[in-house]
């Protein structure tokens, strides 16, 4: 098949369901397609690589080259006594990959079940939930270097993972197409319960540590209860990061909000709950155009049907400035916003 660019509305390629038009859309399905991207890459000022589209906010018109990776497959690379090294290709659904591993008896990813998106998107923002982040199991990321037309393997240390960020979200993003991820998983199920202990969840439901199936059911139902169904309302999960602030900013915010939810990280470092702050500034259920703050979780913005990029960004700016005025805390947007 001839490699060529297409005109495309990306509405069904981003989970916020924003209309976003481009004349430069290309689906990568083969090595030949990868070479084609390298040939045309320098014609563009920017490149956008789309995975499941669950962590991006797209503008109405895109002049950049837009690439969707469609490689699939899961394979075992090495089989050690206590661990296994598994490779999953970028186009696989993340949740299906997690379930595949659990069914094979390979553990480590279970707290990350039911996160929307593809495998290729997982390292970009270092997806995380219930006390575990992608970086905890990552061995390396395999990518196509657009600028020199080569496959490279980036070891975990060089991915510079941090809270909802990585080298792929930062400077290298324009040059790399993630092809697959390699994760080191355990043959023994050793549940990570830190989050549940902290949130007093286990005391209510102790049976959930007994079997992996119960555990997964619990994770999935917790996510379902806090996150709106993407099929019903476009959204990108958490719209803001939980801010990590200094003691001075924390104490100042605590002065305004004595029951503020926070987690102490270090001597001078506190992670604050963005959802709690937005909620307590009175934003649940508020609307701007066709975008609303989810009434069950203030951290989530919803597309109520015909949302536009400007509606999303205006509402986000109103929320952030209100939270700043009332608490002195600066909120940062979690998804990657393309202008
Ligand atoms: N809260 C409120 N009101 C709200 C929302 C939250 O009071 O409207 C309070 C909750 O009651 C709780 C605290 O805020 O005391 C924290 O809420 P929760 O534990 O649900 O977690 P979160 O901070 O809202 C983070 C991640 C989620 C992840 C969950 C569970 C970020 C930005 N979000 O949410 O990740 O699933 O923890 O681990 O780090 C994502 O990144 O897209 C995402 C969904």
The closest residue, in CA terms, to atom 11 on ligand 1 is: 276
Cβ(299) – ligand 1 distance below 6 Å: yes
Q: How confident is the model at residue 102 (pLDDT cuts 50, 70, 90)?
A: very high
Q: Verify whether ligand 1 is closer than 6 Å to residue 133 (CB atom).
A: no
CA of 188 from ligand 1 middle (Å) equals: 29
Q: 241 CB less than 6 Å from ligand 1? A: yes
Is any ligand 1 atom within 6 A of the Cβ of residue 226? Answer: yes
Q: What is the model's pLDDT at position 226?
A: 87
Q: Which of 125, 133, 164, 273 to mutate to test the pocket of ligand 1 (most atoms within 8 A of CB)?
A: 273
Residue 227 alpha carbon to ligand 1 centre in Å: 10
Q: What confidence tier does 193 reach under pLDDT thresholds 50, 70, 90?
A: confident
In ligand 1, which atom is closest to the CA atom of 298? 8
pLDDT at residue number 206: 41
Mean of per-residue pLDDT scores for the chain = 93
Contact call for residues 121 and 177 (beta carbons, < 8 A):
no
- Please give the structure tokens belonging to residue 332: 């940062």
Contact 202, 193 (CB under 8 A): yes
Task: Count CB-CB contacts under 10 A for residue 312.
Answer: 26
Pocket test for ligand 1, best of 238, 300, 301, 323 (most atoms within 8 A of CB): 238
pLDDT at 210 over 70: no
Helices (H), 171-306: 194-198, 212-226, 247-256, 274-280
| Domains along the chain with CATH numbers | 6-69 (3.30.43.10), 74-226 (3.30.465.10), 244-337 (3.90.78.10)
Instruction: Evaluate: CB of 297 within 6 angstroms of ligand 1.
Output: yes
The pTM for the full model equals: 0.93
pLDDT tens digits, one per residue of 246-292? 999 999 999 999 999 999 999 999 999 999 999 999 999 999 999 99
Q: Which residues are part of the catalytic machinery?
A: 164, 238, 334
239 lines ligand 1 (CB under 6 A): no
- Give pLDDT, residue 209: 59
Does the beta carbon of 116 lie inside 6 Å of ligand 1?
no
- Which segments of 80-175 are extended strands (E)? 83-89, 128-129, 132-133, 138-145, 150-155
Taking residues 235-252, report their average pLDDT. Answer: 98
């Amino acid at each position: 098949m001839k490699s060529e660019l297409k005109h495309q509305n990306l509405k069904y390629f981003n989970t916020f369901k924003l209309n976003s038009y481009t004349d430069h859309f290309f689906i990568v399905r083969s090595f030949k397609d990868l070479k084609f991207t390298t040939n045309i890459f320098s014609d563009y000022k920017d490149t956008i690589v789309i995975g499941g589209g669950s962590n991006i906010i797209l503008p109405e018109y895109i002049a950049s080259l837009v690439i969707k990776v469609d490689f699939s497959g899961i394979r075992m690379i090495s089989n050690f006594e206590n661990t296994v090294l598994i490779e999953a290709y970028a186009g696989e659904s993340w949740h299906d990959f997690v379930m595949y591993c659990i069914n094979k008896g390979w553990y480590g990813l279970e707290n990350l079940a039911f996160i929307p998106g593809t495998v290729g998107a997982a390292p970009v923002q270092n997806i995380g939930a219930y006390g575990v982040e992608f970086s905890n199991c990552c061995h390396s990321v395999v990518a196509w270097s657009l600028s020199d037309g080569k496959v490279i393997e980036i070891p975990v240390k060089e991915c510079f993972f941090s809270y909802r960020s990585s080298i792929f979200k930062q400077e290298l993003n324009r040059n790399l197409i993630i092809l697959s991820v390699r994760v080191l998983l355990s043959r023994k199920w050793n549940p990570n319960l830190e989050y549940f202990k902290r949130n007093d969840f286990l005391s209510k439901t102790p049976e959930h540590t007994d079997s992996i199936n119960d555990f997964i059911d619990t994770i999935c139902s917790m996510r379902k209860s806090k996150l709106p169904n993407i099929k019903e309302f476009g959204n990108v999960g958490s719209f803001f990061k939980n801010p990590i602030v200094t003691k001075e900013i924390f104490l100042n915010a605590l002065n305004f909000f004595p029951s503020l939810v926070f987690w102490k990280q270090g001597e001078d470092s506190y992670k604050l709950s963005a959802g709690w702050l937005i909620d307590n500034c009175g934003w649940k259920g508020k609307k701007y155009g066709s975008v609303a703050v989810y009434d069950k979780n203030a951290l989530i913005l919803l597309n109520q049907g015909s949302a536009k990029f400007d509606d999303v960004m205006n509402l986000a700016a109103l929320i952030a400035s209100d939270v700043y005025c009332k608490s002195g805390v600066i909120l940062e947007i979690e998804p990657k916003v393309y202008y």
